[in-house]
Amino acid sequence: MGDRLKGKRAFVTAGSAGIGRCAAAAFAREGASVFATDIDEKGLASLKSDGVSEVARLDVRDSTAVAAMAKRVGKVDILLNAAGFVHHGTVLECSDEDWDFSFDLNVKSMHRTIRAFLPGMQESGRGSIVNISSAAGVFKAAPNRYVYGATKAAVAALTRAVAVDFITGPRDVREPAADGKARHRRGNRLARSLPRQRRERVHDGRRAYHRWRLDALILNLAINNNVIPGRVEDANPESRDSGSGPSDHPGMTDREEGMCP
């Protein structure tokens, strides 16, 4: 257990598995009070063992439910949006329904949660919003990820737009950098402070290594050390050149796309 997030309250969507669960557990390990949500109530129930203090079912496609949840939760210091869906196919295999569902879950859900929680951050004068995107759509195109890539590019634009409108202070909002080297080094420095047992899991394989590094980078973002507001932070710079990306399994959700080691 650490204390870098001690006294902070975090709200996480899609927290029952994958990136959302990994982030919720990481925040809890660092002393934050974490409220995790998902539509998978069984997965949520097991989060108590990860130190997550509160859980609740939430469909982020329901604007009324999101607004009601924000009132229930109150002010938060960290909002992490991890809900998403990976559609498999080209433009010729993407129906209007596929397009609408992907944008509703991958992009509009973030619009809903940010709109609901941002006023509380304004009142407090502080807060961190982390939106999970993908190299597929932000830095490169990926085969058979037509609408998925479009939604993830939209997430990056949405994030920058919120930063331009609401972040004030001595640091300027900047466009995403073309490389991820400096941010990769910062993530590694933070990762080195993680328990040795977690670091040794790097040897379990490449995907485990990337999950470990993402865990560290999410903490770096939340703690807000040396991170430029509004910038797209790349958790896996190598993925731009390697051709790697979301699994080719059709219909996979983002929650399933980065299981915690």
253 pLDDT exceeds 70? no
3-state helix, strand, coil in the chain (%, to 5): 50, 10, 35
Residue 108 has a pLDDT of: 98
pTM for the whole structure: 0.77
Give pLDDT, residue 50. Answer: 93
First and final C-alpha spacing in the chain: 17
Long-range contact list for 39-46, CB < 8 A, 24+ apart? 40/16, 40/255, 42/16, 43/16, 43/17, 44/15, 44/16, 46/16
The secondary structure of residue 89, as a DSSP letter, is B
Say which residue, 230 or 115, is predicted with more confidence.
115
The closest alpha carbon to 76, from 8, 148, 171, belongs to: 8
Longest Cα–Cα distance in the chain: 50
Whether residue 257 is predicted with pLDDT greater than 70 in this model: the reply is no
- Cross-strand bridge partners of residue 10: 34, 78
pLDDT tens for 171-180 read: 333 333 333 3
pLDDT band at 104 (very low <50, low <70, confident <90, very high): very high
The band of 73, judged by pLDDT with boundaries at 50, 70 and 90, is: very high
DSSP state of 145: B
Q: Is the pLDDT of residue 236 over 60?
A: no
- pLDDT-derived band at 3, boundaries 50, 70, 90: confident
Q: Does residue 45 carry a pLDDT above 50?
A: yes
* pLDDT reading at 208 higher than 70: no
Region 210-218: what's the mean pLDDT?
61
d(CA 226, CA 160): 17
Q: How confident is the model at residue 232 (pLDDT cuts 50, 70, 90)?
A: low
pLDDT at 247: 35
Residue count (the chain):
261
pLDDT at 95: 98
Question: Can you tell me whether residue 178 is helix, strand or coil?
Answer: coil
Q: Is residue 88 within 8 Å of residue 251, measured between CB atoms?
A: yes
What's the pLDDT at 217?
A: 58
Find, among 21, 22, 25, 64, the residue nearest to 40 by Cα. Answer: 21
Domains and CATH numbers, the chain: 9-257 (3.40.50.720)
pLDDT value for 243: 39
The model's confidence at residue 74, banded by pLDDT at 50, 70 and 90, is: very high
What are the structure tokens assigned to 26, written together? 């990481």
Tokens of 181: 């080297």
Just list the catalytic residues. 148
